[in-house]
Structure 1
Amino acid sequence: MASTTFDELLDAEYGKDGTARRDAFEAKAEAFCLAECLKEHRLQAGLTQEQLAAKIGTKKSYISKIENGHVDVQLSTLFRIFSGLGKRISLTVM
């Protein structure tokens, strides 16, 4: 049996890096990771979506949309959300 790398599997399923289909998959994967990170930190802080929303001046539905990957969140909003959770985030450009 031939060994297959994760990159080879992604290439086969979504196309090579830089193709439209692969880029769309990568964007969805990044949104999912961000959503899970936000949800994890919110739960660790012991806050409901509604409590977090009230704390940062937005609506519960917006927090829900972010956590479910249904909205592109602005960087300024992301900083505000994590600040409301007592966290700091940093941005790395690679």
Structure 2
Amino acid sequence: MSSSIKFKSLDQLKDRDIGKIGSAARDKYEFDLQVDILGEMIKSVRKERQLTQEQLGNLIGVQKSQISKLERNTKNVTIETVLKVFRALRANVKFSVEILEADFRTA
């Protein structure tokens, strides 16, 4: 009696449960994931620099509560604020832009 277990890759599971790459649901999922990671990166670098949320807030001119919100949810934050935080942390940030093929005449 042979038991055959079929394993699926993470991408296959995401395709099945969230949607294929390029679908609205998958794009939202990927964006939300990247935003969550950004907040975690800010928190990680802040801690590595041995700064409290209050100290980081003072460096960029905001309250401790705003740093806390930023670390938990960066969805409603401007790029300018994110860059200001990383400059205060003396950390380089690299953004990449992927240009997709599109026919703008039909958009």
Whether the TM-score (by the shorter chain) exceeds 0.5 is yes
Structure 2 counterpart of 1:86, from 72, 84, 90: 90
Residues paired across the two proteins, number: 94
Show structure 1 runs of 5+ residues with no match.
none
Q: 1:70 to 1:10 in 2, by over 3 A?
A: same
Shift of 1:57: 0.8
Shift of 1:4: 0.9
Give the structure-1-normalised TM-score. 0.88
- In 1, distance between residues paired with 2:83 and 2:53? 16
Partner of 1:34: 38
Identity %: 35
- In 2, distance between residues paired with 1:22 and 1:72? 20
Give 1:1-94 correspondences, 5 Å limit: 1-69=5-73, 71-94=75-98
Whose Rg is larger?
2
1:35-87 Cα deviation digits (max 9, x unpaired) = 11110000001111111011111122221111112642211111110111112
**Contact residue 65 and residue 71 of structure 1 kept, 8 A:** no
Query: Which structure dedicates a bigger proportion of its chain to helix?
Result: 1
Give the structure-2-normalised TM-score. 0.79
